[in-house]
Chain A
Amino acid sequence: MAQAVDELKHKHDEHPWFFHHHFTDVDQQFDTAKLGMWTFLATEILMFGGLFVGYAIMFSMHPEAFHAGHHHLNVNLGVINTAVLIFSSLTMALAVRAAQTSNKRGIIINLLITIACAFGFLVVKYFEYSHKIHEGLLPGVYYSFHEYVPHIEMYFALYFMMTGLHGIHVTVGIGLLIWILLNALKGKYNSAYYTQVELVGLYWHLVDLIWIYLFPLLYLVS
């Protein structure tokens, strides 16, 4: 019996809990996961890329509509949201660093701030959206804007699609951040294993980066 327990313990030492047996070693597993995440981020960029191309074409067709449209956005709120997201990128990076240095408290605090920023972003976005919907600027069947500007609907179609898809990504990000926060509370991450924190961090930086392109394109276009 004792021998069996020893064997079990020995086996456990050979394979830490996070190790999947089809990899040769932990490093290979980490590299593979990272490559997978980078590939996934490439697909995200191409998905948003479709919208960016749509934006470029519509902007070149109706520049005056885009100029008129951007006056309906609140640049101050946009600036606040940009700052919030950039700050959350910093705390996310600090969380990854804390995981690498086995600083459990650091991971948890930084993740909490990141999650709070993400919620803050969505709250601001909620007020922006409801204001515009109230003005009748949601394109399509709900469109009832009183001023006539030719093709201003195109601008708002792209505004809602681009920020909407980005908002969905922020929401998914919150889910992922909460998931790694719960794992961090269980003490799963340390210098030997922090893959999940690092990968969610990569995802979060991409979400921020996309916003950094959306902000000038939508709020500052003139």
Chain B
Amino acid sequence: MANNDHGHGEHPSFFQEGGKGLMSWVYTLDHKRIGLMYLVSVLVMFGVGGVMALLVRLELFSPGKTFLTAHQYNQVFTLHGAIMVFLFIIPAVPAALGNFVLPLLLGTKDVAFPRLNIFSFYIYVMGAIIAIAAIVMGGVDTGWTFYTPYSVGSSGKVIWMVFGVFVLGFSSILTGLNFIATTHKLRAPGMTWSRMPLFCWGIYATSLIQVLATPVLAITLLMLIIERAWGVGIFDPAKGGDAVLFQHFFWFYSHPAVYIMILPGMAIISEIIPTFSKKAIFGYKAIGMSSVAIAIIGFLVWGHHMFVSGQSAFASMVFSFLTFLVAIPSGIKVFNWTATMYKGSITFETPMLYALAFLFLFTIGGLTGIFLGALSVNVHLTDTYFVVAHFHYVMMGGTVIAFYGGVHYWWPKMTGRMYNEKLARLACLLVFIGFNVTFLTQFVLGSKGMPRRYYDYLPEFQTLHQVSTVGSWILGLGFLIMVGYLLASLKVGAVAPANPWGGLTLEWQTSSPPPLHNFEKQPNTKIGPYDYGVPLPPKKPGTLEGAVHGTSS
């Protein structure tokens, strides 16, 4: 840890203060640097997973073989899923943006356990290397869910891939543990639970799931490894085991994991919307508590992935009912965000555009989830492109869009530079259009009976598949432009002010990028995070410097 406590002069940013060169990053304990290292890693993984997605779509451009064999196709979609889920989307918001922003929002110098933090980053890197080794050595063709019995008998490098995911799980657990302790114990003086920005509530709820669900995945994967390596038979009916038991175990983690993915996305939206509406968030408590409610209900609905697995009809009914319950806290959030914008003075900078795209896409994703949660409709739609489209509307239209909203929102804070706003809006538009072209068609495909994960299809599906593939190109172009202007901003971007958007939360009350210890003085929150238009309390020594209320930036 850098112990040089400067008590004088102007603070240089953490880029300068923490030292220069590779080693200053390798050995860093600074949550901001660790967050940025995560950010670079997950963006690279998003690129790799994205290329896999483009390959899948390209192969589906025509029925039969376009350019991949069926086996290669199975590998490519498995790797797309596994990389996107375990290496990108789970760590994307909490570990990358959360690491950077959470301590700033809480007004503290660092996370509770900085050494554990860097350790969890290296575990992530190790897990990524093992998972990529599995790909290089021959790939995996089981799908990202590793269902038994196929995963036990498949010829791919399942053990390596599963072990990689096992290792990644520990990174996720340790990050969650760190954030729970940080949120409980390290909030700035004056920041009560009800003055905590909603991003922190979202990350807190996420961390709870990470800590409570991931260990179950760990033991499940361990059992799968043992099963595959020694054939003990716990998932093998011939030896008295139960293949569906794997599905129960897997979804006991992986359904809550879906909320590990979406809750942080919702958390970002809860920050962006009040900032760009210049209005106090509507229903602060409802939004915060609905995050916790989603986290709790999320543990009770895993069976809705298994309606056709042969579980009892009664179990399916219960799971279906509980699944519908998730719609309540989700609906609460959507209505509260919308109500926040009502009569606000809204400006449409890029982060806000992403937030609006999120609202639109997440709502479609959520509503189609009700179709899938209904038992009778589910039998028709299960294992079709409808599920693929629903999943992507929630995960990509929801989380990924929110993640890029967050990246654009905090980019000036993280890098100290502004990006090209016009190009950013163009990219956002392309992503939005491309996304809908790609996945809206898949709802139609699925409802007409196109099964998911198939290499080949009937000629009548070709037009829709081609539309979807063209959509994926528009989407790809949007992201390519984004890479371009974000990289360019590092060199030629205008220097970012401390508070480019006129936000009230604590991260905007320190310089961009922040100094090593985040704040010049220990911040002391006298007002709520979204009290726009509320007059400042009389200034006393120790209050925030330059806290901005109202619309000026």
Residues of A within 8 A of B (CB): 20-23, 28, 31-32, 35-36, 39-40, 42-44, 46-51, 53-54, 57-58, 61-62, 65, 139-142, 150-151, 153-154, 157-158, 160-161, 165
Contacts and interface: CB of A to CB of B under 8 A. Distances in A.
Interface stretch (B223-231, B330-338, B464-472): B223-231
A140 B215 CA distance: 24
Contacts of A35: 180-181, 184-185
Given A22-B108, A22-B110, A50 B215 contact: yes
Given A21-B5, A54-B245, A150-B240, A140 B112 contact: no
Contacts of B114: 20, 22
20 contacts: A20-B114, A22-B108, A22-B110, A22-B114, A35-B181, A36-B181, A40-B177, A42-B211, A46-B215, A47-B219, A49-B215, A50-B216, A50-B223, A58-B234, A58-B242, A140-B226, A142-B230, A151-B239, A153-B233, A153-B240
Given A21-B3, A22-B108, A32-B186, A51 B219 contact: yes
Contacts of A42: 211-212
A54 B180 CA distance: 29
Given A22-B517, A140-B229, 7 more contacts: A32-B113, A36-B113, A54-B245, A57-B242, A153-B232, A160-B232, A161-B226
A54 B223 contact: yes
B90 to A, nearest CB: 16
B240 A140 contact: no
Interface in B211-258: 211-216, 218-220, 222-223, 226, 229-234, 239-242, 245, 249
Nearest to A48: B219
Of listed B113, B116, B180, B215, residue having the most chain A CB within 10 A: B215
A65 B185 CA distance: 49
Of listed A139, A140, A141, A157, residue having the most chain B CB within 10 A: A157
A61 B1 contact: no
Nearest to B219: A50
Contacts of B220: 50
Given A32-B186, A36-B181, A47-B218, A54 B234 contact: yes
Chain B interface mostly helix, strand, loop or mixed?
A: helix
A20 B185 contact: no
A140 B230 CA distance: 5
A164 to B, nearest CB: 9
Contacts of B234: 54, 58, 154, 157-158, 161
B173 interface: yes
A47 B216 contact: yes
A32 to B, nearest CB: 4
Nearest to A160: B232
A154 B245 CA distance: 13
Interface in B420-473: none
A61 B240 contact: yes
Contacts of B223: 50, 54, 161
A79 B484 CA distance: 67
A43 B3 CA distance: 33
Contacts of A158: 234
Contact of B239 (A47, A142, A153): A153
A157 B114 CA distance: 39
Interface in B247-271: 249
B185 A157 contact: no
A44 B5 CA distance: 38
A39 B239 contact: no
Contacts of A153: 232-233, 239-240
B99 interface: no
Of listed A22, A31, A160, residue having the most chain B CB within 10 A: A22
Contacts of B233: 139-140, 153-154, 157
